[in-house]
């Protein structure tokens, strides 16, 4: 079997970052500095900044409903629009909203059972985390800057001794993003502490600490990347989805092989694939079908 690895190419990635900090540090004030933003406000924090948001050419959707949020991100991913930055402020309430959603669903199916049987366990948490990750996956191909904020919480080690602070969101959120900043106040100035930056050794864009400002992000990350217009992604069409399912019903392809396609595309189903990726799957199965037709 021929080896599939190839030399990596440099990729110019959009600014996608995770920001956390304590109450009253000014997380909302910080993120609304980014102009032309689509702000998903999950706890009505934007109520106090309407003048600044309007001046920046930004808009606000106030909701922590996970279905609404997922639908909005899909629309931003696939439709032409003028917005350059997606903000979810804070992600903490989206995660809480997912727990509420799946609690209602599980309670409905355990209605009338004893309280002990309503300890939903791993299936419940699997559903919550699975849907949360499906929302995260939409952020990867989204051709926009992405700013996710989170509340801050204390972290504890052995014997309940405090070992530091971290984001109050789903475990592993900080692994998903290339950039993680802790927001703090130093001598009356809003300062970002660089907690994590994925970069070649010695080629970090951001210093360990810097004053938070939109101008500094343009300076460190690059204005050409941050300010460019979003390009919509063409998703799999209904015709493509119908064709791949028809082909898979005709040609014997192992489930393990199909699961590899989904895993490589980082999706749960063909419906979540983009048009280019699902077309490659269709072409692959069509080639498998040619010997079958020739044999007939």
What DSSP string describes the chain? ---------------EEEEEE-TTS-HHHHHTTSSSEEEEESSSGGGG-HHHHHHTT-EEEE---HHHHHHHHHHHHHS--S--EEEEE-HHHHHHHHHHHHHHHHHHHTTTS-GGGG--HHHHHHHHHHHHHHHHHHHTT--SEEEEEEEEEEEE-GGG-EEEEEESSSTTHHHH-SEEEEEEEETTEEEEEEEEE---TT--SS-SEEE--HHHHIIIIIHHHHTSPP----BPPHHHHHHHHHHHHHS---HHHHHHHHHHHT-SSGGGSBHHHHHHHHHHHHHHHHHHHHH-
Q: Answer yes or no: do 217 and 246 share one domain.
A: no
Percent of the chain scoring above 90 in pLDDT: 41
pLDDT band at 279 (very low <50, low <70, confident <90, very high): very high
Q: Give the mean model confidence (pLDDT) for residues 82-109.
A: 86
pLDDT band at 117 (very low <50, low <70, confident <90, very high): very low
Q: Answer yes or no: do 107 and 188 share one domain.
A: yes
Put simply, whether the predicted model's pTM sits higher than 0.75 gets the answer yes
Last residue of a domain, one of 174, 198, 226: 226
CATH number at residue 28: 3.40.50.300
Whole-number pLDDT of residue 18? 94
Q: Give the mean model confidence (pLDDT) for residues 106-135.
A: 70
Q: Give the mean model confidence (pLDDT) for residues 152-181.
A: 81
Query: What residue numbers bound the domain in which 169 lies?
Result: 16-226
* pLDDT digit string, tens, across residues 14-59: 999 999 998 888 888 999 999 999 999 998 888 889 999 999 999 9
């Amino acid at each position: 079997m021929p080896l599939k690895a190839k030399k990596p190419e440099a990729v110019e990635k959009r600014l996608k970052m995770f920001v956390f900090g304590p109450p009253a540090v000014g997380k909302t004030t910080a993120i609304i500095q980014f102009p032309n933003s689509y702000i998903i406000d999950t706890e009505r924090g934007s109520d106090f900044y309407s003048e600044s948001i309007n001046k920046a050419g930004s808009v606000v959707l106030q909701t922590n409903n996970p279905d609404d949020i997922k639908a909005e991100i899909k629309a931003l991913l696939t439709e032409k629009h003028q917005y350059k930055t997606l903000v979810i402020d804070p992600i903490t309430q989206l995660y809480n909203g997912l727990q509420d959603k799946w609690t209602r669903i599980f309670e409905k199916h355990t209605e009338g059972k004893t309280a002990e049987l309503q300890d939903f366990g791993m299936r419940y948490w699997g559903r919550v985390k699975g849907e949360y990750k499906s929302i995260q996956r939409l952020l990867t191909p989204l051709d926009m800057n992405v700013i996710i904020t989170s509340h801050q919480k204390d972290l504890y080690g052995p014997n309940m001794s405090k070992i530091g602070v971290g984001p109050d969101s789903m475990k592993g959120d900080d692994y998903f993003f290339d950039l993680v900043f802790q927001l703090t106040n130093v001598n009356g100035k809003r300062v970002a502490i660089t907690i994590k930056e994925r970069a070649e050794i010695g080629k970090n864009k951001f210093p360990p600490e810097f004053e938070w400002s939109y101008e500094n992000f343009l300076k460190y990350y690059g204005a050409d990347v941050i300010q460019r217009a979003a390009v919509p992604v063409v998703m799999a069409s209904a015709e493509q989805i119908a064709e791949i399912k028809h082909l898979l019903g005709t040609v014997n392809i192992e489930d393990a092989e199909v699961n590899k396609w989904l895993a490589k595309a980082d999706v749960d189903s063909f419906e979540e694939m983009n048009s280019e990726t699902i077309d490659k799957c269709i072409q692959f199965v069509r080639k498998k079908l040619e010997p079958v037709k020739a044999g007939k």
